[in-house]
Chains A and B, each alone.
Chain A
Amino acid sequence: MNTEERFSRQRLFHGIGRSGQERLQEAHVIVVGAGALGSLTAETLVRAGIGKLTLIDRDYVEESNLQRQQLYTEADAAAWTPKAEAAKKRLLDIRSDASIEIIVGEADPAVLENCLPADLIIDGLDNMETRLMINDTALKHRLPWIYGACVGAYGLSYTVRPGQGPCLRCLMKGIPMEGETCDTVGIIAPAVQFVSATQVTEAMKLLTHSFEQLRGTLWSFDVWSNETSSIHVDSLQEENCPSCGASPAYPALAWSGRSKAETLCGRDAVQVKPLPDMQVSLEQTANVHKQHVSKANQHLLVLNIEDKRLVLFKDGRAIIHGVSGEVEARSLYQRYIGG
């Protein structure tokens, strides 16, 4: 493959040029999550000539993914191929000399640290808990990372740079658990493409050292209602933030700072305990999942979802029946309850 020709149009672009293209080809980017956002971001980076891509994902391809997760095919869904593996195969079809590492499994602190050194981490996740773990890992290793998320026709993005403004923990102060996810209120592909486009553009600016061109705001849009917003959030930086403050403790990297999943002996069930600072509202969750509710009282809520039974307690704990293991249980919890 003639790389001179292959990347010629990108090199022609004034913001990148020859030196920018060289920097892209030397960069290592970790993309966490290979769902809609992550797979699209991975494809754009590989096409752009990124030096090395590491892709982490715990899930496998399903039919309901194909409407928006554009690296995957019917054959991947029929074979239950792990997303990271299906992505790698397709990415190598696109660019045969690309350097692509994949990890089929949960992104936990040890897994992520094993992927370092890297220049940048990009978020393609479907849950906030792992995002806070990325936030803390990136800050600890002084790496930039790019948050992106979407649901329905809405999306938002924010670029976190160590020492340059607030981190995600400063902005969110706790984890929203309102249960609105792609599995509950749906998602359209253009919303994904918008978020991924902004994330990859910010990534290109960071990697080519075009720092003055970075957006510098928390940014959101709704492609259906045509609303858009951009807010300078520097004033929200918390001096004593446990992730980016003067004496960081990186709570999301500690065992106590993670949600727990444990198999309940002899019950074909797994209990998932969310993070201590998550607040679950049974009423709100029942409202979002009307069609799945089979029982509800003041202490708990029973949902029948995808042939599984999820019993959610007021303290945020859930016992999930009919799952194959702890990874599936945690994934189901994050997709339907939140976190």
Chain B
Amino acid sequence: MQITLNGQLQNIENSKTVADLLEELQIAHKKTVVERNGTIVIEEFHEREGLMDGDRIEIIHFVGGG
């Protein structure tokens, strides 16, 4: 499946949901804000929000450095 992630086309192999995608990207343990096709998906819905070919996904994770 091909999605646009943070503005870049990416092939996603193993992810069926937003939660899977965060795992695949190795950022599941971080605080994140996720948007799918222009709508924010809150954390409680990450496991049931399915992904589809052509999705536009934005993910921002928080860090503490500076």
Contact between chains at A126 and B7 (CB < 8 Å)? no
Interchain CB contact under 8 A, B31 and A231: no
Q: Does B62 lie within 8 Å of A126, measured CB to CB?
A: no
A291-332 residues with Cβ-Cβ distance < 8 A to B are none
Judged by a CB distance under 8 angstroms, whether A139 is at the interface is no
In the assembled complex, which residues on chain B have CB atoms less than 8 Å from the CB atom of A149? 62-66
Whether B7 lies near A229 (C-beta < 8 A) is yes
Using C-beta atoms within 8 Å of the partner chain, give the interface range for chain A: 35 or more
Q: Interface residue tally of chain B, by bracket?
A: 20 to 34
Is B65 in contact with A229, judged by CB distance below 8 angstroms? no
Cβ contact of B33, chosen from A128, A174, A231, cutoff 8 A = A231
Asked if B20 lies at the interface with its beta carbon under 8 angstroms from chain A, I say no
The majority secondary structure among interface residues of chain A is mixed
Q: Quick check: is A136 within 8 A (CB to CB) of the other chain?
A: no
**Complex interface residues of chain A between 154 and 178 (CB less than 8 A to chain B):** 154-156, 171-176, 178
- Nearest CB to that of A38 among chain B residues? B66
A275 interfacial contact with B, CB 8 Å: no
Contact check: which of B5, B8, B29, B43 meets A178 at CB < 8 Å?
Answer: B29
Assuming the A-B contacts A218-B33, A226-B8, A235-B40, are A150 and B62 also in contact, with contact meaning beta carbons closer than 8 angstroms in the complex? no
Nearest opposing residue in chain B for A181, CB measure: B65
Q: Contacts of A195 on B, CB cut-off 8 Å?
A: 66
From A29-37, A79-87, A246-254, give the one contacting chain B: A29-37
Q: Is the CB of A338 within 8 A of B40?
A: no
Whether B58 lies near A229 (C-beta < 8 A) is yes
Complex: A176 Cα to B33 Cα, angstroms: 13
Q: Which one of A178, A219, A227 lies within 8 Å of B7 (CB-CB)?
A: A227
Residue of A127, A151, A178 with most partner-chain B CB within 10 A? A178
Given contacts A173-B43, A222-B6, 11 further A-B contacts (CB under 8 A): A126-B64, A178-B29, A181-B63, A181-B65, A182-B66, A218-B33, A218-B60, A220-B60, A229-B58, A231-B58, A339-B64
Minimum-distance CB pairs A-B, first 9? A151-B65, A227-B6, A37-B66, A182-B65, A176-B31, A229-B6, A220-B60, A229-B58, A151-B63
> What are 9 A-B pairs at a CB distance below 8 A?
A151-B63, A172-B62, A178-B30, A181-B63, A227-B6, A227-B8, A230-B58, A231-B33, A233-B33
